[in-house]
Structure 1
Amino acid sequence: MKVIIPVAGAGMRLRPHTHTQPKTLVPIAGKPILAHIIDDLRNYGFEQFVFVLGYLGEKVEEFIRNHYQNQIHAEFVYQEPREGSAHALWIAKHTYEKENEILIVLGDTIATLDYVKLLKHKNSVICVQKVSNPTQFGIAQIGKKGEVINLIEKPKIPKSNWAIVGVYKIKNIPLFLQSIEKLFQKKQKNQNEYYLTDALMNMIESGEIIFSMPVTHWYDCGKRETLLEANAILLNKPEFQNYSLQYPESVIIPPVSIGKNCVIKGSIIGPNVAIGEDSLLENSIIRNSIIGSYSEITNVLLQDSIIGNDSSVKGENHILSIGDDAEINL
C-alpha cells in the first residue's frame, strides 16, 4: 500500500522556526517530525511513499534522499499553487489512482496507533482522538457503530469532541477523486483552501460508509506550545534516560536527547530537553526546550524555548554585592 504524505504547508503557527526550514523538518525528541512519521510507518512494513511538497520542498526532498536512500521507495510531487490538503491529494493522483487503497498521513501528525488493525478494516477509516478544545480542529461526529456521520472543519458550535488526527485509509479511490473534483466544481473552499475534510464528507454524502478509529496517542506539532509538549512525551523512552556519564562536568536530568559531537560544560540540562548535533552549551540551565544543531548556548537560563539550527544565545556573567532590602532585576 502506498502512503501519501502532504508536507506542502508553510507552518505559519511555528514562525520564526519555519522561515528557513519546512515545518515537517522541525526537530522534536532528537529527529525531525517527518522522520518520526516515516520510521513509525517503516516499522509496520510500509515501503512506498509519495511526498507532496511545496514550501521549501527541496529541503524535504534532500532530507529524504540523504536519510532514506535504499530504505524506502519515494516519489515526489510539487504542489503549486498550494490550495489546501484536498488539492494536494488531487495534484498527486497520478501516483495512486490505480491503487486499491491508500494511506494518507499529514506531514505534521505524529500518532500512535495499531496499523495492523487499521489495514484489516474492510472500509475506509478516519483516525480520531477526543480533545477538550474541539473548535480548534476538524471534528468527526460518530454513530453508535463507529461510523462517521458528519465531518466539519473547526466548527464554531461543535457537536462532537472527536478530533480528526490526520491519518486516513481510503478504500474507494475513484469516489475519493470524484469527491475532490466536486469541491473544485463547486469552488467549495474553506479559508481559501480545499480541505480534505470536505472531500471526505462528499464521500459520505454519496453513500460511502467510513468508520472512525481512535488512536492511542496523538501529538499535535503545529504550534510552539504543543510541539514542546509532544517533545516531552516522546522523550519518555528508555534511550533518553541516561547521559550523565558522557558529560561529567554537567548535571543531566533525564529525559533528554543529546545529538552527536555536542560539548556541554558547567550546565544543568533537563528534564525534557532535545539538543541537536554539534552544539555547544556552557554555563547554562536548560529545561523543557528544543535546541537545534550547530548552536551555541552560553551563560543563559532557558525554559519552554525553541532555538533553531546555527543559532547563538549568549548571556552575561554577573558578580554582585547586594546589601539588605535590595531588589535587582537582571
Structure 2
Amino acid sequence: MAGMGKRMRPHTLTVPKPLIPIAGKPIVQRLVEDIAKVCGTKVDEVAFIIGNFGKEVEKKLMEIAASVGAKGSIYYQEEALGTAHAILCAKEALKGNLVVAFADTLFKADFKLDTSSEGIIWVQKVEDPKPFGVVTLNEKEEITKFVEKPETFVSDLAIIGIYYFKDGEYLSKELQYLIDNNIKDKGEYQLTNALDNMKNKGTKFKPGKVTEWLDCGNKDSTVQTNERYLDYIKDQQLVAKSARITNSVIIPPCYVGENAEISNTILGPFVSVGNGTKITDSVVKKSIIQEKAVVKNANISNSMLGNSATFEGKPSDLSVGDFNTIVL
C-alpha cells in the first residue's frame, strides 16, 4: 500500500487510499479481515508495505493487525520500482505460508484457503484484460503463463492482486533475483516475472476464483464497492446508537457512524456516513461521506466527501477532498 493513490485525488492528499472507509471501515481493514477469514487458521503477522504516511497512520495499521489477533509490522518502499520490489521491502516477513495482497482491491469469496497448494493466484474474468496482469491455464487448471498488461489478447483471466505462497523464503529469493539481475518489465520489477520463473522451475500455481472482485482504484469504483459491501452486511447493525436521526428517512442499507446527526433528510440507499458528520435538509444516496463533514440543502448521488468537508448546494456528482468548503 505504498502508492500515492493519484487516481483517488483529492481524497488521497491527506490520507493514503487504503484508509478510505468502505461501509465504515478502512479499505485495508476490510481486506485484512476478509483474508483472515479465508485462511481458516490463525494469522501470525500482518506486514504493511507503505510510504511515509506518518505515525498516526502506522498506529492505525497496528490496530488493524491486532484486530485479527496478529502482530503488525511496518516496511517502507521509498521509491516506486514495481510490485516485486515493493514485496521485497518486507523481506523479513516473507516466511512460511504467505498471502500477498495489494490494498486497492476487495473481494468476496466462499472458500477456505488450501494451504497444501504450492501457490494460488486469485483471478477473475474481465471484459478488457489490457490494464491487468493475466494468466493462461492448461487442461489441469494449472497456470501456464503470466503476462503483464497484454497489448494483444492472451487471456481474460485477470490477476486481482491476491496471492498465496506455501514457501515465503522461496518467493523472496526469486524477487531478489530480479533485483540483482536488473530484470524489469515496462520499466519496473514485476511480481509476474518472479512467478513465471518459479513456474518454470516446477512450482504448480492454481487459480483461485472469487465470488466478486471489488475495485477501489478511483472515486466511481470506490462508491460502487461501498454499495456492494453495504449490501453484503445489510443484516448487521449499521446505524450507531449515538447517531441522532431527526425527522428523517433512512433507506437501508446505510452505515451511520458515532455521533452523526441526520435531520430533515432522506438518506440512502447505499450511503456511508462517518463519525460526527452532520447532514441537514438533504437527499443523499449512493455516496461516501467521511468524518466530521457538513452537508446542507444538498441532493447528491454517486459522491464522495472527505473528512471535515462542507457542502451546501444543489444536485451534483461530487468528488470533494478533505477540509474543502463548497457553497453553491
TM-score, L = length of structure 1:
0.86
Q: Distance in 1 between matches of 2:54 and 2:85?
A: 16
SS at match of 1:38: helix
CA distance in 2, matches of 1:175, 1:78: 21
Matched AA of 1:36? R
The yes-or-no answer on 1:53 pairing with 2:36 is no
Other-structure match for 1:17: 11
* Residue type of the alignment partner of 2:196: M
AA matched with 1:91: C
Please say if residues 141 and 206 of structure 2, whose CA atoms lie closer than 8 Å, have aligned partners that are also in contact. yes
In the alignment, the residues of structure 1 paired with residue 239 and residue 74 of structure 2 have an alpha-carbon distance, to the nearest angstrom, of 39
Deviation track 1:94-128 (CA, whole Å, cap 9, x = no partner) reads 223xx332111222221223552x23442211111
Within the candidate set 86, 107, 110, 1:111 is matched to 107
Task: Pick from 55, 59, 62 the counterpart of residue 62 of structure 1.
Answer: 59
Q: CA deviation at 1:243?
A: 8.6
Q: For the structure 1 residues 90 and 65, does the alpha-carbon distance in structure 2 shift closer, same or farther, using more than 3 Å as the test?
A: closer
**Partner of 1:231 in structure 2?**
226
Does structure 2 conserve the Cα–Cα contact (< 8 Å) formed by 1:10 and 1:55?
A: no
1:228 & 1:156 partners in 2: Cα distance? 29
Distance 1:127 1:67, change over 3 A: closer
Provide the C-alpha distance between the structure 2 equivalents of 1:123 and 1:94, rounded to a whole number of angstroms. 20
Partner of 2:322: none
Query: Structure 1 residues 141, 48: closer, same or farther in 2, change over 3 A?
Result: same
d(CA) in 2 for partners of 1:10, 1:284 = 33
Q: Distance in 1 between matches of 2:288 and 2:52?
A: 23
Aligned-pair CA distance for 1:10: 1.1
Aligned pair 1:171/2:166, yes or no? yes
Partner of 1:139: 134
Which residue number corresponds to residue 309 of structure 2?
311
Q: What is the CA RMSD across the aligned residues, in angstroms?
A: 2.4
Are the aligned partners of 1:49 and 1:73 in contact in 2 as well (CA < 8 Å)? Answer: yes
Per-residue deviation, residues 263-286 of structure 1 (Å, max 9, x unmatched): 111111111111111000011111
- Among 203, 206, 215, the residue aligned to 1:211: 206
- Whichever residue aligns with residue 277 of structure 1, its letter is N
Equivalent residues of 2:115, 2:166 under 8 A apart: no
Paired with 1:171 and 1:216, the residues of 2 have a C-alpha distance of 23
Amino acid at match of 1:101: N
Which residue, out of 65, 71, 74, partners 1:73? 71
Task: Assess, with a 3 A threshold, how the Cα gap between structure 1 residues 87 and 220 changes in structure 2: closer, same or farther.
Answer: same
Q: Check whether the contact 2:238–2:256 (CA below 8 A) recurs between aligned residues.
A: no
Which residue identity lines up with residue 180 of structure 1 in the other structure? Answer: L
- How far does residue 38 in structure 1 lie from its aligned partner after superposition? 2.1
Amino acid at match of 1:87: H
Task: Map Cα deviations across residues 134-163 of structure 1 (whole Å, 9 max, x no partner).
Answer: 112111112221111111122111211111
* 1:250 Cα deviation after fit: 0.9
**Aligned-partner residue type, residue 7 of structure 2:** R
One-letter code of the match for 2:46?
Answer: F
**Is the Cα–Cα contact under 8 Å of residues 83 and 189 in structure 2 kept in the other structure?**
yes
Residue from 21, 28, 41 that aligns with 1:34: 28
- Higher Cα radius of gyration: 1
- Over residues 161-219 of structure 1, what are the superposed CA-to-partner deviations in whole Å (9 max), with x where a residue is unaligned? 11111111112434422321232244233443322122212212233221111112211
Indicate the larger mover: 189-198 or 243-252. Answer: 243-252
Partner of 2:265: 267
Structure 2 unaligned regions, length at least 5:
315-327
Assess if the C-alpha contact under 8 Å between 2:244 and 2:261 holds in 1.
no
Equivalence for 1:290: 288
Amino acid in the other structure paired with 2:16: P
Match of 1:88 among 86, 108, 114: 86
User: Counterpart of 1:129 in 2: which secondary structure?
Assistant: strand
